[in-house]
Structure 1
Amino acid sequence: MKSGSLVRLEISRSLRNKKFLFFSVLYPVLLFLIVSGSQDASSRVGGTDLSVPAFMMVSMASFGALTAVLMGNSERIAKERESGWVRQLRLTSLPGRGYVLAKTASAAVISLPSIVLVLAAGAVVKGVRLDAWQWLALTGAIWAGSLCFAALGVAVGYLATGDTVRPISMILYFGLSLLGGLWMPATTFPRWLRDLAEWLPTHAYAALGRSIELGDAPHARDVLLLAAYCALFAGAAAWLYRKDTLKA
């Protein structure tokens, strides 16, 4: 089996999973509309120069991508390991890196509709106004940044068992979302918690989009921090995959 064939298979399986599609594609849009509520462009987030709708639009687009790539990847891989599907794939011509790359690529493809729908809701329903280049850059930055969490999902899928993967994924999912400032501005946190949040990958991830909304280039610190986490997660995924191969 070739990597391209596996990517198509993974995308097809994800599209048939209605519960996964709801939580990864529709849920972030609904959450964005609920959280932003009646706030409009005149409502500002304390400590920033962004309106509440613009601030939460980036947060929920990032949250939706995180849902698709972290939750989807980790649970599916853990269950495939237990069912013997991964072992069967090792008997084909597909190299190990092809399996990991296929999982990461398919998750990234599924995350794109969630990002686009949240941004569309921000523009159409909440009146967020940006230049054309900002919309394109915003979509690209959030989508590219999600690869970091796709690698984390692969690592968790090889670390956990079918019974433990969901609680581990949920702790990471909600912990990173809450502490990284995706659900509420980190400026509202106590000082010690703000200092912690600034070192989390989700904080750097959302900061990419917020810089673009302000018309600036993403800060080098956020880019480097996210890249470092991506390398760490990808390295962990590769090591855990090799370890799992040796046990098989």
Structure 2
Amino acid sequence: MNAIVHSHAGAPAPSLARVYLSEAWYELLRLLRTPAFSVPTLLFPAVFYGLFGIVLPGSYGSLDKATYLLATFGVFGVIGPALFGFGVGMAIEREQGWLELKRVSPMPPGAYFFAKIATGLLFALAVLLLLSTLGFAFGNVKLGLGRWLLLVATLLLGTLPFSALGLFVGALVRGQAAVAVVNLVYLPMAVLSGLWIPLFAFPAILQKLAVVWPAWHLAQLALGVAGQGSTANAVGHVLVLLAWTVVFLSLAARRLRR
């Protein structure tokens, strides 16, 4: 018995990288075993894109409809895991006391947030691969490999402000309320940012008000990369998204310190 105790006491501590990766792996397993999260996250954007971008007829003038909607539904698809992974997941874990347990454990605090961000990005990438498969196979999307890779990179990096927003929601409300709050933000923002239906089909006042939504700014970046919009104000859109990230992170940090 003494030898066993001595052996465990003298065992080297796991590396920081291993701790981070282990936390991310178990977070991924938890989400995969939660069909209420994984199934809608993966399938809803694909179903909507297939309906609006491929099945329903229509023309967007000089724009390529399938490519245009690949960019905008790509935005819709990647912000879902960011909002729900942080917002709902963290709220439930905080309500159950799991977050407090992690705080008093030897685990580095950053591992928890790394796991949330990493799994959110993995789900976002899976959504983009599914959308792209539909678009190239059935929508006749015309994007070169380089432009498509740039679009994927833009959308994945663009999840940052929505992860920050989800973090704020998760720090602000309780578990079950977080689901309602995230949906009340996510779905109206998607519609009013022109992610489902192009903004030029909306009344003029709604087109002007779209600039208040961070999803609209990410959509403009995605459309520019996909060749379906202008890239003239790309720096401005990036700065707005960064500003929203700082605001939400600051609000979340202030709330978590209470």
TM-score normalised by the chain length of structure 1: 0.88
Query: What's the RMSD between the two structures over aligned residues?
Result: 2.0
| 1:31-70 alignment, distance < 5 Å | 31-38=48-55, 44-45=59-60, 49-70=62-83
Q: Could you tell me which runs of 5 or more consecutive residues in structure 1 were left unpaired when the two chains were aligned.
A: 244-248
Alignment: residue pair count: 239
User: In the alignment, is the contact (CA less than 8 A) between 1:71 and 1:173 conserved in 2?
Assistant: no
User: In the alignment, is the contact (CA less than 8 A) between 1:134 and 1:213 conserved in 2?
Assistant: yes
Find the partner of 2:217 among 200, 204, 213. Answer: 204
Q: Could you tell me which runs of 5 or more consecutive residues in structure 2 were left unpaired when the two chains were aligned.
A: 1-15
Structure 2: how far apart are the matches of 1:233 and 1:223? 15
User: In the alignment, is the contact (CA less than 8 A) between 1:11 and 1:110 conserved in 2?
Assistant: no
| 1:99-118 alignment, distance < 5 Å | 99-118=112-131
- Alignment pair present for 1:158 and 2:205: no
Letter in structure 1 aligned against 2:247 = L
User: In the alignment, is the contact (CA less than 8 A) between 1:108 and 1:147 conserved in 2?
Assistant: no
2:241 is aligned to: 226
- Structure 2 CA distance for partners of 1:79 and 1:71, relative to 1, 3 Å: same
| 1:112-127 alignment, distance < 5 Å | 112-127=125-140
Find the partner of 1:86 among 99, 103, 122. Answer: 99
Helix, strand or coil: the match of 1:163? helix
1:14 is aligned to: 31
Helix, strand or coil: the match of 2:159? helix
Q: Based on CA coordinates, which of the two structures has the bigger radius of gyration?
A: 2
Q: Residue by residue, what CA displacement relative to the aligned partner does 1:97-149 show, whole Å, maximum 9, x if unpaired?
A: 44233322321222110011112211111010111110100111111101221
| 1:176-187 alignment, distance < 5 Å | 176-187=189-200
User: Comparing 185-194 with 75-84, which one deviates more in the overlay?
Assistant: 185-194
Structure 1: how far apart are the matches of 2:132 and 2:159? 16
User: In the alignment, is the contact (CA less than 8 A) between 1:138 and 1:209 conserved in 2?
Assistant: yes
Q: Residue by residue, what CA displacement relative to the aligned partner does 1:26-76 show, whole Å, maximum 9, x if unpaired?
A: 221111011124467xx5425xx4221111111211111121111232111
Identical-pair percentage: 28
Helix, strand or coil: the match of 1:181? coil
Structure 2: how far apart are the matches of 1:102 and 1:113? 16
- Structure 2 CA distance for partners of 1:194 and 1:203, relative to 1, 3 Å: same
